[in-house]
Amino acid sequence: MSASISVIIPALNASGTLEGIVKAINGQLCAVREIIVIDSASDDNTAALAGALGCKVIQIAREEFNHGTTRNAAARAALGDVIIFMTQDALPADNRLTQELLVPLSDPRTAASYARQTAAGKASPVERFSREFNYPDVPVLKSLDALTALGIKTFFFSNVCSAVKRDIFIETGGFKSVIMNEDMVFASQLILSGYKVAYCPGAAVIHSHNYSFTKQFSRNFDIGVSLKEACLLKYASPGGEGLRYLKEGAGDFLRERKYSWLIYFILDSCFRYAGYSIGVRYNLLPKPLRRWMSSHPFYFR
């Protein structure tokens, strides 16, 4: 597929990573038309650095940031036929990223694609397993027909690195104003509207986090909130996928005799599950408790 590409990167205090990411994007085999950086009033020189690197800079107040609506504003300002959404800590693994993301979009009914995420060198064994579990090396083309086989994974999609046809993005209303998981909610809109979403392992970014137990809890609390608000649980439950994650991870650490990491993995999974389980029941909690549990407390003002 031949198309002009706009890359959108929301940023906050990103001076440590932005230059490397921009240089990697500009070095792609399939060139991009523009890079748009949305700076949420960074305390460092993110905005100035982005401008010096040739990016288009949009500045917003930090309290105005929303995972969905902030990206929508940048998409409306974009000039490309295809929008590639990235994050400030996702480094292209090679120079084929944009090219690989475009390949499945040649199908008129395929509206979006997303990249594989590989763990960084300092990633823990648990985080490394999580990346390999969620981002295998097998491509998948997902439509409504996949619900029976894939369950909730039918809607799985990541804005850490994704590509969307701009006209379809605008047509379907873009991202919703949600606490988190705007990417997965958007993918569900596409699929339920009859479009397809492609997972492209040939397109890869280096991206991982060594989150604490409490951070995993709060993130998964927010995931539960978003799935509940988007009514996605009426189509499929994450329960089966969660159990598969636990079984495969525990099996891997046992086989490798990494017993200390097995204990860590089980505890990490418990915090994820607890956060998610409470998150889908967030409406039963008073607002102060929701704010305390969430990684985005401002959402429950």
What string of DSSP letters covers 157-220?
--TTEEEEEHHHHHHTT-----SS-HHHHHHHHHHHTT-EEEEEEEEEEE------HHHHHHHH
Same domain, 146 and 290: no
For residue 301, tell me if it sits in a domain: no
Indicate whether 81 and 174 sit together in one domain. yes
Q: Are residues 199 and 246 in the same domain?
A: no
User: Per the domain annotation, does 246 fall within a domain?
Assistant: yes
The reply to whether 63 and 130 lie within a common domain is yes
Give how many domains the chain has, as a whole number: 2
Residues 72 and 92 placed together within one structural domain of the fold: yes
Separation between Cα atoms, residue 179 and residue 276, nearest integer Å:
13
Q: Is residue 30 part of a domain?
A: yes
Structure tokens at 36: 């748009």
In a domain? residue 193: yes
Other Cβ atoms closer than 10 A to 258: 15
- pLDDT by residue (tens digit) across 194-205? 999 999 999 999
pLDDT tens for each residue of 112-133 = 999 999 999 999 999 999 999 9
pTM of the model: 0.93
- Residue ending a domain, among 177, 206, 235, is 206
For residue 77, being part of any structural domain is answered with yes
Instruction: Let me know whether 242 and 112 are in one domain.
Output: no
Task: Give the CA radius of gyration of the chain.
Answer: 19
| CB neighbourhood size of 263 (10 A) | 11
Q: Which of 150, 183, 206 represents a domain boundary (last residue)?
A: 206
Task: Tell whether 137 and 259 lie within a shared domain.
Answer: no
Q: Which of 176, 206, 236 is the last residue of a domain?
A: 206
Angle between helices 259-279 and 239-255 in degrees, nearest 10: 170
Q: What is the CATH number of the domain that holds 105?
A: 3.90.550.10
- The helix/strand/coil state of 67 is coil
Q: How many angstroms separate the CA atoms of 91 and 119, rounded?
A: 11
Q: Does residue 117 fall inside a structural domain?
A: yes
Q: Are residues 164 and 233 in the same domain?
A: no
Cα separation, 209 vs 197, whole angstroms: 25
Q: Return the sign of the alpha-carbon dihedral for residues 263, 264, 268, 269.
A: negative
Percent of the chain with pLDDT over 70: 99
SS3 66: coil
Q: Of 105, 116, 80, which is closest to residue 195 (Cα–Cα)?
A: 105
When pLDDT is averaged across residues 58-87 and rounded to a whole number, the result is: 92
Same domain, 74 and 152: yes
Claim to verify: residue 234 and residue 157 sit in the same structural domain: no
Q: Please, are residues 61 and 129 in contact by the beta-carbon 8 Å criterion?
A: no
217 and 200 within one domain:
no
Can you give the residue range of the structural domain that contains 98?
Answer: 5-206
Residue 239 has pLDDT above 80, yes or no: no
Whether residues 269 and 162 share a domain: the answer is no
Q: Is 260 exposed, middle or buried (0-12, 13-18, 19+ CB in 10 A)?
A: exposed
Instruction: Give the pLDDT of residue 12.
Output: 93
